[in-house]
Structure 1
Amino acid sequence: MTILDNIQHTIAPELRQLNTRMVDTLSTSNEMMNEIVGNYLKTKGKQIRPILVILSAKLLGDVNEVTISAAAAIEMLHNASLIHDDVVDDTHTRRNRPTINAIWDNHIAVLTGDFFTSCSLRQAVAANDLRIINTIADLGRTLSLGEIDQISKARRHILDEKAYLNIIGKKTASLFVACTKMGGYSVNASCSDIDRLGRFAWLFGQCFQIRDDIFDYFADDSIGKPTGNDLREGKVTLPLLYALSRNDLPERDNMYRLVCNDSLSSGEIARLIDYAKAAGGIDYAYRRMEELRNEAVGIIMEFPASEIRDTFVSMFDYIIARNM
């Protein structure tokens, strides 16, 4: 079993509650919507985000009905964003299954994503805690702004690590921070503990996105499909950013001019990927992930020793080691 399998096994009763809650919340009198949702839920994904909600509640107290509502809210909002992303990116497969837009059409997919969003809000309200409702509301705003910020910087060819980290903080890390905050709120943990765990989650989220971005640089099937989609969409991620910062390399200026083109051919994308790897971009990304991990472990070790505390470290190790 993988690290994640072991973690899922440890909290299996809570995950069963979560999935039952989601099915009940998403159930309607409309046969078409039930078919779409039922087919979509056949592959649940890794459920890392609700797992973090549950683990946070366990670290700071005891899981309860509010925790499950919060976990369901965050997972359904995340799924809504994935469904909408598939429409925007014209993606036809996810988790080795056809996407909603591929089976039905974009119109149905957008409406389904909206439906997931409304169900997320219903579960946030069911938690009966204004802090949880506010967290979900703020999160939706931050995720949207993060995506727009990324598009804006891509169009203006802003190529620096600080801007990159700011973007992934909004579009990825903020979601993980919301998970730990809502888990803490659900057990009425102290503000100081919630803030500390939130900092851990911020580092976790940044590391998660860096690892995700690395997948686009490799052809090995065990690592990920080499689509070059990030560059095709004008997104320059950490390995290439590092390579472009190396003024000591003779190819640097040519590569910088190339990446500023508004439209890249497959051959040009392949050149940029090869350049990033040759310039040590992948190694640099791994070093940055290790730095993030070390800081995060230092934070989590401030909490009393427990199996759950160790599980947070295992989760961090998992996201660095994962191959999909």
Structure 2
Amino acid sequence: MSSLDIIQAPIKDELKQFEEYFKTTIQSDIPLLSLIINYILRKKGKQMRPMFVFLSAKINGDFNESAFMAASSIELLHTATLVHDDVVDESYERRGSFSINALWKNKLAVLVGDYILARGLLLNLDNHKYSFLQLISRSVKDMSEGEILQMRKSRKLDIDYDTYYEIIEKKTASLIATSMAIGAASVSEDEAVVEKMFQIGIDVGIAFQIKDDIFDYQAKGVLGKPTGNDIKEKKITLPLLYVLSNSTEKEKRRILHEVKRKHKNTAKVQELVNLVVERGGLEYATEQMNYYRDRAISQLNEFPESDSRNALVELVNYVTTRKK
């Protein structure tokens, strides 16, 4: 039995029902849009965020249909952001397949992302789930701010630890936090409980993003070489930030010059990757990832023991042990 099987065991039936429920929330009568939506549905991921919603709901109250609306709202938002991100990043691949913008060009991809986001907002409005709408809207605001801040910093390369954590908290962690908060909101009107789940989700989301940062410096693929994609995109993430913070001013200027001017040079990118590995950047990032993971788990362990709580703890562990 895999880690995901263990995690999904307490919500196996709910996840199966969710697949059909979600399809009804995203479909359109417009033939071209329906074609694109069906393409998206065939390429869906692990449904990690719905898992956070359902497990959070189960440890905070009596599971009900509102949890399906909550999970659909999150998955619609997540799907919309992925479509938009591929346009912003000029990426032509998503989960090993062509991205929407690669197949149908940027203009249509932006409109498809807008449509999916609108379906999520309308789902909440039509069902008078105003607390859900507030949580989703905050997440959209945070993710937009995080993306814009990262774009600005990738041009100026003037990033420090505080700015790094602000970027990943807004850009990545906010959606996982919202998943956990909206799960609690689907079964409880206690704002303190909802906010507690949000804050736990922030720690989980930070750990999730640091894990992604580490991936970029680890060997992968047929040739066994790290991708170095973050450096190629002039993104200074935690492993490189640690090296910069522990370098002389002269070294720091040289490294930043190479990130700024040589980020398309494969050999130079590999040199920087090697430098990060040699200087302990991955070890430091791993320590920080584990700190946020452990803090989240410690707070979850304050809840009464149950299969759902144990599965949620296992899901938090999975965030930091996943292979991709």
Q: Tell me what 1:198 maps to.
A: 198
Q: Tell me what 2:33 maps to.
A: 33
1:123–1:224 Cα change, 3 Å: farther
Deviation of 1:182 after TM superposition, in Å, equals 0.9
Deviation of 1:90 after TM superposition, in Å, equals 2.1
Q: Tell me what 2:316 maps to.
A: 316
1:142–1:297 Cα change, 3 Å: same
The letter of the residue matching 1:200 is: I
1:224–1:40 Cα change, 3 Å: farther
Q: Tell me what 2:8 maps to.
A: 8
Structure number with greater CO (CA < 8 Å, separation at least 6) is: 2
Deviation of 1:183 after TM superposition, in Å, equals 1.0
Task: Write out per-residue CA displacement over residues 106-163 of structure 1, whole angstroms, 9 at most, x where no aligned residue.
Answer: 2221111111111111222244221111111121111111100111122221232221
Q: Is the 8 A contact 1:173 1:204 kept in 2?
A: yes
Q: Is the 8 A contact 2:10 2:307 kept in 1?
A: no
Q: Is the 8 A contact 1:53 1:67 kept in 2?
A: yes
- How many angstroms apart in 2 are the aligned matches of 1:223 and 1:52? 35
Q: Is the 8 A contact 1:303 1:309 kept in 2?
A: yes
Q: Tell me what 1:53 maps to.
A: 53
Matches of residues 120-269 of structure 1 in structure 2 within 5 Å?
120-221=120-221, 226-247=226-247, 251-252=251-252, 254-261=254-261, 264-269=264-269
SS of match in other structure, 1:227: coil
1:44–1:222 Cα change, 3 Å: farther
- How many angstroms apart in 1 are the aligned matches of 2:182 and 2:189? 10
RMSD: 2.2
Matches of residues 80-91 of structure 1 in structure 2 within 5 Å?
80-91=80-91
Deviation of 1:211 after TM superposition, in Å, equals 0.4
Q: Does 1:103 pair with 2:98?
A: no
Give the stretch that moved more between structures: 282-291 or 121-130: 121-130
Q: Is the 8 A contact 1:177 1:198 kept in 2?
A: yes
Q: Is the 8 A contact 2:262 2:269 kept in 1?
A: no
SS of match in other structure, 1:8: helix
1:256–1:156 Cα change, 3 Å: closer
Unaligned runs of 5+ in 2: none
1:212–1:223 Cα change, 3 Å: farther
Unaligned runs of 5+ in 1: none
Task: Write out per-residue CA displacement over residues 40-70 of structure 1, whole angstroms, 9 at most, x where no aligned residue.
Answer: 1012201111111111110101221111111
Q: Is the 8 A contact 1:215 1:225 kept in 2?
A: no
- How many angstroms apart in 2 are the aligned matches of 1:222 and 1:145? 36
1:273–1:253 Cα change, 3 Å: same
Q: Is the 8 A contact 1:184 1:194 kept in 2?
A: yes
1:37–1:224 Cα change, 3 Å: farther
The letter of the residue matching 2:51 is: I
Q: Is the 8 A contact 1:54 1:67 kept in 2?
A: yes
- How many angstroms apart in 2 are the aligned matches of 1:230 and 1:210? 12
- How many angstroms apart in 1 are the aligned matches of 2:22 and 2:309? 27
Deviation of 1:8 after TM superposition, in Å, equals 2.6
SS of match in other structure, 1:105: helix
1:312–1:223 Cα change, 3 Å: farther
- How many angstroms apart in 1 are the aligned matches of 2:10 and 2:305? 17
- How many angstroms apart in 2 are the aligned matches of 1:7 and 1:223? 33
Task: Write out per-residue CA displacement over residues 227-267 of structure 1, whole angstroms, 9 at most, x where no aligned residue.
Answer: 32211222110001111111379955532443354855222
SS of match in other structure, 1:55: helix
Q: Is the 8 A contact 1:154 1:235 kept in 2?
A: yes
Q: What count of residue pairs does the alignment treat as equivalent? A: 324
Deviation of 1:225 after TM superposition, in Å, equals 7.4
- How many angstroms apart in 2 are the aligned matches of 1:249 and 1:98? 43
- How many angstroms apart in 2 are the aligned matches of 1:95 and 1:266? 23
SS of match in other structure, 1:104: helix
Give the stretch that moved more between structures: 250-259 or 61-70: 250-259
Q: Is the 8 A contact 2:232 2:269 kept in 1?
A: yes
Provide the TM-score with structure 2 as the length reference: 0.93
SS of match in other structure, 2:296: helix
Give the stretch that moved more between structures: 64-73 or 83-92: 83-92
SS of match in other structure, 2:42: coil
Q: Tell me what 1:24 maps to.
A: 24
Give the stretch that moved more between structures: 192-201 or 251-260: 251-260
Q: Tell me what 2:74 maps to.
A: 74
Q: Is the 8 A contact 1:52 1:176 kept in 2?
A: yes
